[in-house]
Structure 1
Amino acid sequence: MSNYTITSLNGGLANVKGFFCDAVNVGMRPDADQGDVAFIRSEPPCDISAVFTSNRFQAAPIKHYQRYPKDFQTNFVLINAKNANAMTGQKGIDDIDTIMSTLSQKIEVLNPVMSSTGVIGYRLPIDKIISAFDKLDFHAKHSDKAARAIMTTDSFKKELAYRVELEDGSHFNIAAICKGAGMINPAMATMLCFIATDADIPKTDMEHLLHKSTEYSFNRISVDGDTSTNDTVMLLTNKLSTAYDKAVFSEVLNKLMFELAMMILKDGEGANKVVAFEVKGAKSDEEAKKASTALSNSLLVKTALFGEDPNWGRIASTIGASGVECDETKLTIHYDELLIYSDTFRELDKEREESAYKIMKQDQFTVTCDLGMGDGAYTSYGCDLSYEYVKINAEYRT
């Protein structure tokens, strides 16, 4: 790979040449200081690629996007909070057309797309959303406002930006905002993510690299095992920098999306711990993924993490129930470097149990399970499940 340097930047999307963003509150969110309608706009138009939810009941904004031809360009993404515009049928799609028709009277737009997050089953408040068009500054670079506007149960905004200088001295910038804290499951994890870059990435590379990075990042995390109707990751490039190196861009995109995924996991509703579930020694990579994902989704495992209980029985039971080929005489389980279970050590002695308690009190640690069946390996990431998660979701609509 070519040598390159990467520098973290403050200001999120504002760092990317030719991109503009802003957000305003139109009354869908009670806090007037936090926006509920946001946009991302580019001069000139962008190539765009997207990955969407695997949920069969895809929301209206996704269906609206999918009506465009495969290699379309756009210059405008409109985003709203508090209403998912999901399970709203054809009327939900028609409502987007109405909103975009009004937008086109305010500013020149090319194939505008929309993304929504919030409560399922209600049509968009069209008049409120349209009222935003007289308040938004379409030439602003307010990434902070946009990042905060797309939050739902998030406790903090999520944005990143990098400057990447290539070996030949050319450079490109890449930045993203995203949201996510609940309904997070490794199946195009429940979230919205918007990535903007001025890199001269060919359209033919965009879809492949975005899917690859999604699998490396968002598809490996789980808060609660639920997959929403609105999951979206968009990659937009206006190519204004003229700089590009495929291998470098792929590595940087992986880094950007993985760090955002870890932010989402850290912000899991009521979560206190982030845990890596490394499964190795499986019959195949697919079997390792199956077992690892089962661990990151398991409610019993998550509650044990919250209680800081080194109960390896929940780990072993989940692997055995996952459907992968395994053998209790070959299995080993480690918490970080500490051996918790093997055929020789089936019961925790006092010394190892005390060491395990210390590990489980950490904010982050790794559970490693070696199945001893082959060379397959996979790591997914999960968090604990607390009382606060129940409270947040019991009161979601209120």
Structure 2
Amino acid sequence: MFTILPIKGLFDQIEGFYCDGISAGLKANNALDLGFIYSDTLCEVEAIFTNNKFQAAPLKHYQMYDKNFKTNFVLINSKNANALTGQKGIENIDTIFSSLDFELVNPIMSSTGVIGNHLPVEKIIAGAKKFDLNSKNAHNLSKAIMTTDAYSKTTMYEVKLEDGSSFKIGAVAKGAGMINPNLATMLCFICTDANIPKEDMKEALLENSETTFNAISVDGDTSTNDTVLLLSNKKSNVYDKDAFKEVLRLVMHDMAMLMVSDGEGAKKAVAFEVLNAASYEDAQIAAKALSNSLLVKTALFGEDPNFGRIASTIGASRVVSDENKLVISYNDVIVYNKGEFVFNEQIEQEAAKVLKNDKFKIICDLGVGKYSFTAYGCDLGYEYVKINADYRT
């Protein structure tokens, strides 16, 4: 048995982890743009990365290490993705780390921002030399890694086991645009003092990503830099496999939901719940098709309960389905019922009322099996176009 308790505060409360964010001049107006995570003992580390074929230089640099490497330092910059920068992009990372005076062991770099530009190496080196590795300021770090994010994204938990022992886990993340299943466009850094074995780390990340980061969509695009990094300094000397998997799921779900809610210009976060599909794969396909559909997203923005777009998207996904078994609901308001037309004036008003909420479910019962999956998405409106039209400027 175990108890999971949310903690008010950030992951810098975990013993042995230090962090901060500063301005290195990458962004205008002295905005925070460069951050670090440091551990005073070596950490076990695991990561999952984007499925994009053009992985950015920081991801390639990470994968050059031995698979069982440990680290004590992560450097994160915003404004520049260091993607599509060739071998020079990797060499620039080595140049940065070799220029720092800290005692770094297998340092990791993570970047986010505009694709196709080389890093401003001198600015990053000069900025990183200002770091105080005794600092505990996860709030500044969360600000420094933001790009188009409207707000920072953090979460923190403590797990108490039946014998009274405990461990902590927390995360900081960024992500608002280019969010799509197959790992969302985002960076997420998870720190824990759990004494988790190396072999359990990747398993827990992969298992939980399926229903969290791989189940969200803002705009259907997947970036070159997507990273989920898990660091464990093992200082608690406490571990329970089931407890860790569950609390990691909560951490990753928290971060994923904050990203969807912050979808560039988004006002609504929506769960697309597909029930009674013929297979688990069908449930995933249908739910993700709904979360990705531009027609569905714009209907959400207009608060239009256009169930025809929902049904059409399910049919276009080519999963096993039958219009005479399909039931579509907005929360508990049924708008389509097994081939029966129930969408009268009263039902439309009730459904439209649901769509005025910030958060709600669209439930699609396919009625052809026993499998289910929930994907998460948001509306898409004018602000998204404005943000992305001006992104490089």
Q: Give the shorter-chain TM-score range.
A: over 0.9
Provide the C-alpha distance between the structure 1 equivalents of 2:330 and 2:380, rounded to a whole number of angstroms.
18
In structure 2, which of residues 308, 312, 318 is the aligned counterpart of residue 313 of structure 1?
308
Question: Partner residue of 2:5?
Answer: 6
SS at match of 2:146: coil
CA distance in 2, matches of 1:13, 1:294: 35
Contact 2:211 2:375 in 1 (8 A): no
Following superposition, the deviation at residue 216 of structure 1 comes to 2.0
Please tell me whether residue 331 in structure 1 is matched to residue 326 in structure 2: yes
Give the deviation of 1:343 after TM superposition: 3.3
**1: CA distance between counterparts of 2:2 and 2:315?**
44
Q: Which residue of 2 aligns with 1:15?
A: 13
Q: 2:271: which partner in 1?
A: 276
Q: Deviations over 1:33-75 (max 9, x none)?
A: x311111010101000000000000000000000011111000
Q: Distance in 2 between matches of 1:5 and 1:268?
A: 28
Separation (CA, whole Å) in 2 of partners of 1:3 and 1:244: 11
Name 1:322's counterpart in structure 2.
Answer: 317
Q: Supply the AA of the counterpart residue of 1:66.
A: Q
CA distance in 1, matches of 2:6, 2:209: 22
- Partner residue in 1 for 2:98: 101
Partner of residue 23, structure 2: 25
Aligned residue for 1:216, secondary structure, equals coil
**Partner AA of 1:99 in structure 2:** I
Q: CA deviation at 1:253?
A: 0.7
* TM-aligned CA deviation for residue 344 of structure 1: 4.6
Deviation at 1:90, TM superposition (A): 0.7
Matched, 1:48 2:55: no
SS at match of 2:210: helix
Match of 1:235 among 207, 213, 230: 230
Q: Is the partner of 2:177 in helix, strand or coil?
A: coil
Which deviations, in whole Å up to 9, do the C-alpha atoms of 1:17-41 show, x marking residues without a partner? Answer: 1011112111111131x31111101
Contact in 1 for aligned 2:6/2:157 (Cα 8 Å): yes
Q: Which residue in the other structure is 2:373 paired with?
A: 378
Q: Which runs of 4+ in 1 moved over 3 A?
A: none
Cα deviation, residue 5, structure 1: 4.2
Q: Which amino acid aligns with 2:38?
A: R
1:186-233 per-residue CA deviation (whole Å, 9 max, x = no partner) reads: 111110000000110111100000111211211111000100000000
**2:350 corresponding residue in structure 1:** 355
Shift of 1:7: 3.5
Cα distance per residue 1:325-359 (max 9 Å; x no partner): 11111111011111110235325111111111111
* Counterpart residue type for residue 18 of structure 2: F
Residue of structure 2 in register with 1:205 after alignment: 200
Q: Do 1:9 and 1:163's aligned partners in 2 also have CA atoms closer than 8 Å?
A: no
| SS of aligned partner of 1:255 | helix
Name the counterpart of 1:164.
Answer: 159
Query: Contact 1:198/1:242 (CA < 8 Å) preserved in 2?
Result: yes
For structure 1, which runs of at least 5 residues remain unmatched after alignment?
Answer: none
Shift of 1:370: 1.1
Superimposed CA distance per residue, residues 251-301 of structure 1 (whole angstroms, 9 cap, x where no aligned partner): 111111101111111111000101110111211010110010000000000
SS of residue in 1 equivalent to 2:43 = strand
Task: Tell whether the 8 Å contact from 1:22 to 1:145 is kept in structure 2 after alignment.
Answer: yes
1:371 deviates by 1.1
Secondary structure in 1 aligned to 2:315?
A: helix
User: How many residues end up aligned between the 2 structures?
Assistant: 393
Task: Determine whether 1:78 maps to 2:75.
Answer: yes
Checking the alignment, whether the CA contact within 8 Å between 2:260 and 2:269 is kept in structure 1 is yes
Q: Could you tell me how far apart the structure 1 residues matched to 2:352 and 2:275 are?
A: 24
Distance in 2 between residues matched to 1:181 and 1:191, nearest whole Å: 8
Answer yes or no: is the 8 Å Cα contact 2:73–2:106 preserved in 1. yes
Worse overlay, 130-139 or 108-117: 130-139
CA distance in 1, matches of 2:221, 2:91: 28
Instruction: Report the AA paired with residue 58 of structure 1.
Output: Q
Q: Which amino acid aligns with 2:314?
A: I
Q: Is the 8 A contact 2:176 2:260 kept in 1?
A: yes
Instruction: Report the AA paired with residue 282 of structure 2.
Output: E
Are residue 141 (structure 1) and residue 136 (structure 2) matched?
Answer: yes
Structure 1 residues 226, 5: CA separation in 2 closer, same or farther (over 3 Å shift)? closer
1:301-337 Cα shifts (integer Å, max 9, x gaps): 0000000101100001000101111111111101111
Cα distance, 1:159 vs. partner?
A: 1.0
> Counterparts of 2:367 and 2:58 in 1: how far apart (Å)?
45
Q: Distance in 1 between matches of 2:361 and 2:29?
A: 39
| Cα RMSD (Å) | 1.0
The letter for the 1-side match of 2:8 is L
Which structure 2 residue ranges, 5 or more long, are not aligned?
none
CA distance in 1, matches of 2:88, 2:67: 23
The answer to whether the Cα contact below 8 Å between 2:326 and 2:339 also exists between their aligned partners in 1 is no
1:64 aligns with 2:61: yes
Q: In structure 1, how many angstroms separate the alpha carbons of the residues matched to 2:153 and 2:6?
A: 18
Equivalent residue letter for 1:117? T
Q: Which amino acid aligns with 1:61?
A: P
Native 8 Å contact 2:325 2:339 kept in 1: no
Query: TM-score of the superposition, structure 2-length normalised?
Result: 0.98
Q: Which moved more, 1:231-240 or 1:214-223?
A: 214-223
Letter matched to residue 11 of structure 2: L
1:74 partner letter: T
Q: What is the CA–CA distance in structure 1 between the aligned matches of 2:127 and 2:226, rounded to whole Å?
A: 24
Please tell me the residue identity of whatever aligns with 2:244.
F
SS state of the match for residue 379, structure 1? strand
Aligned partner letter, 2:180: N
1:132 Cα deviation after fit = 1.2
DSSP 3-state at the match of 2:372 = strand
Q: Name the CA distance, whole Å, in 2 between partners of 1:109 and 1:396.
A: 34
Whether contact under 8 Å (1:9, 1:15) holds in the other structure is no
**In structure 1, what is the equivalent of residue 125 of structure 2?**
130
Aligned partners of 2:5 and 2:357: how far apart in 1? 30
| 8 Å Cα contact 1:80-1:116 kept in structure 2 | yes
